[in-house]
Amino acid sequence: MIFPLSVIFLRAFDETGREVFGNIFSSSVLRTIIKNTVILGVVVASLGTLIGFFLAYAQMKLNFRGKKILHVIALVPLITPPFAFATAVITLFGRSGMISRDILGLSPTLYGLPGLTIVLTSSFFPVAYMSILGMMKNLDPALDEASSSLGASKVKTFFKVTLPMLIPGFASSFLLLFVEATADLANPLVIGGDFTVLSSRAYIAINGEYDVPAGAAYSMILLVPGLIVFIVQRYWGERKSVVTVTGKPTGTPTFVENKVAKFLLLIIPVLMASFIVLIYTTVIYGSFAKFLGVDNSLTLDNYRYIFSGVGYDAIIKTTMMAIIATPIAGLLGLVLAWLIVRKVKKGRKLLDFFGMLGLAVPGTVLGIGFAITFNHSTKIGDTTILPQLAGGGAIFGGAIAIIMVYTIRSSPAGQRSGIAALQQINPAIDEASASLGASGFTTFRKVTLPLIKPALLTGLMFAFAHSMTTLSPIIFITTPDTPIMTQKILAEVDSGRFGNAFAFCSMLILLVLIVMGIINLLVRGNPNKQSIAPIASA
């Protein structure tokens, strides 16, 4: 993990890299790219947080039919392949879109900031939704009751009590979204048009111009906001006790009953949910259509195409590699979580930091790091300590590097849910086991593991989905021997064969749902036993 990062660091500062850095302030092109990246980040983060808040508020404070469905729909984008939104949006709302031209008679230009905003916001708002919802669930309803019994109206209570306590939640989800939006590679490639951002620039530098140092330098700039956010969040996490101090919520939650208020508050969530449903319908229908928007007649050609030759190979190999990586990531995350919560006293923060780094580092950076580190064998002196792991001539066709990236990207999810679950287990439970004669390992196996299993599996479920749908780190290390579905989708989109892309997306969603279903069955294996509530985390 550290190794590829230091290599990318070194490469970024060699001659060409320094030139790029030097140009940051002198070259107006580069300045525009950075400006674009920041604008995109801020717009997406603000909109995403706002939408996430409205959805979370509706979930917590409103009573309406279809609440659970709304919750599920709001989480769907988390497992959606990167191009599904972009291609569907182009098909529906693009220059010759089914809705924009055929129904409304317009021909808007989506490519660039507007399209990116729509696509990225709808892809990433669930992150904000989950973090704000989690925070709101922890707010003690008794606080609302206390405020109203002191004479404050509902509106006043909201602005004086609820909102101030949610500000850390807003801030952290804003930062998270900022990083996600600026690190995203897939959408800028497809719908970015002339609106170049750092991640797409780095991709072009490496895959188009074969200028590795420049690519490394671009991605280094990308690393900065990511790390800042990550560190700020860690720091914030230590102090957000405003919310957790009350412990178990005691009061009864009250719901907004005013019909007008209810209607107004539901507008955004319902629009958002309809949009997601629309996108999904488009993707799935599109996968069965000859050319959606041009020739809507049904066909199985798209599936025939993706199941033949390279496409089929990609489906199988991507799934295989993700399936291999998931348990490794789970084990790694779990062991780290256990060490952090229970065993290591000194340096636990550092350990946590390095464990989570895999998620904090933008995928582009990680991918480039792996590409330039492992595309030749690693030697110390004359002894080869590692063979070539990535690239065309690597052992196992470069699959090892890909699995490593999947693992590094996924283990933080296991680590996070593991930590959360472990912290809910009273240390006295471990002590009880010890005082009954169990060794540390026996306690872990017989007590700790069964208790955190559900949370862990849920974490892994999302990790698997993430592996399957990830593009930015993989695109730099994929080889002809290891075709990756997301990369195939990119190729199809690039050549305008949206039908095939839709079919790939549908297939990917189906695969993710199947594996999630299996994991869910595993979790529910012993239903009558109480366990720690699963903590969903992306």
Partner 1 sequence: MEKTMTTAAKSSKLKLKNLTKVFGQGKEKVTAVDSIDLDIVPGEFITFLGPSGCGKTTTLRMIAGFEIPSGGSILLDGQDISSLSPDKRPMGMVFQSYALFPHMSVYENVAYGPKIKKLPSAQVKQEVVAVLESMSLTSMANRSPNQLSGGQQQRVALARAMVMRPKVLLFDEPLSNLDAKLRAQMRIEIREVQQRLGITSIFVTHDQDEAMSISDRIVVMRNSKIEQVGIPAEIYLRPASIFVADFIGISNFLTVESAVASGSGKAKVTVLGRTMEVPAHPEALSKESILLVRPESISVKAAPAGNTTISGTQGQVNQVVFYGQHAQYRIQTQVGNITAVVSDPIFEEIVPVGAYAEFAFDSQRSWLLPADSK
Which residues contact partner 1 (rule: CB under 8 A)?
426, 428-429, 431-439, 442, 446-447, 450-451, 528-531
- In angstroms, what is the minimal distance from the CB of 343 to partner 1? 14
Is 180 in contact with 78 (CB distance < 8 Å)? no
Residue 185 sits at φ, ψ, to 5 deg, of: -115, -40
Is 460 in contact with 490 (CB distance < 8 Å)? no
Is 398 in contact with 385 (CB distance < 8 Å)? no
Residue 25 sits at φ, ψ, to 5 deg, of: -90, -25
The residue (of 149 and 426) whose beta carbon lies closer to partner 1 is 426
- In angstroms, what is the minimal distance from the CB of 441 to partner 1? 11
Say if residue 75 is exposed, middle or buried (CB neighbours under 10 Å; 0-12, 13-18, 19+): middle
At 2, which helix (H) or strand (E)? helix 2-12
Residue 34's alpha-carbon distances to 50, 202, 204, 463, in angstroms, are 24, 12, 15, 30
- In angstroms, what is the minimal distance from the CB of 231 to partner 1? 25
Three-state DSSP state, 94: coil
The residue (of 366 and 452) whose beta carbon lies closer to partner 1 is 452
b/e map of 177-207 (b: 16 or more CB within 10 Å)? Answer: bbbbbbbbbbbbbbbbeebbbbbbbbbbbbe
The residue (of 184 and 430) whose beta carbon lies closer to partner 1 is 430
Cα-Cα-Cα-Cα dihedral sign, residues 173, 177, 178, 179: positive
Three-state DSSP state, 380: strand
Q: Read off the tokens for 380.
A: 């110390």
The residue (of 32 and 439) whose beta carbon lies closer to partner 1 is 439
Residue 26's alpha-carbon distances to 19, 37, 41, 302, 442, in angstroms, are 10, 18, 23, 48, 62
Q: Rg (Cα) of the chain, in Å, rounded?
A: 24
What is the DSSP secondary-structure string of 397-408?
Answer: GGHHHHHHHHHH
Is 262 in contact with 459 (CB distance < 8 Å)? no
Say if residue 103 is exposed, middle or buried (CB neighbours under 10 Å; 0-12, 13-18, 19+): exposed
The residue (of 274 and 439) whose beta carbon lies closer to partner 1 is 439
- In angstroms, what is the minimal distance from the CB of 239 to partner 1? 19
Cα separation of 181 and 534, whole Å?
27
The residue (of 281 and 442) whose beta carbon lies closer to partner 1 is 442
- In angstroms, what is the minimal distance from the CB of 451 to partner 1? 6
Q: Read off the tokens for 519.
A: 């994991």
Helices (H) and strands (E) in the chain, counts: 24, 4
- Beta-bridge partners for 479: 482
The residue (of 149 and 528) whose beta carbon lies closer to partner 1 is 528
- In angstroms, what is the minimal distance from the CB of 463 to partner 1? 23
- In angstroms, what is the minimal distance from the CB of 521 to partner 1? 18
The residue (of 171 and 447) whose beta carbon lies closer to partner 1 is 447
Q: Read off the tokens for 535.
A: 């903590």
The residue (of 251 and 440) whose beta carbon lies closer to partner 1 is 440
The residue (of 209 and 431) whose beta carbon lies closer to partner 1 is 431
- In angstroms, what is the minimal distance from the CB of 531 to partner 1? 6
- In angstroms, what is the minimal distance from the CB of 418 to partner 1? 16
The residue (of 349 and 446) whose beta carbon lies closer to partner 1 is 446
The residue (of 244 and 530) whose beta carbon lies closer to partner 1 is 530
Cα separation of 439 and 513, whole Å?
39
- In angstroms, what is the minimal distance from the CB of 263 to partner 1? 40
Alpha helices by DSSP H, 139-211: 141-149, 154-157, 163-183, 186-191, 198-203
Is 291 in contact with 499 (CB distance < 8 Å)? yes
- In angstroms, what is the minimal distance from the CB of 344 to partner 1? 16
- In angstroms, what is the minimal distance from the CB of 434 to partner 1? 4
Amino acid at 458: T
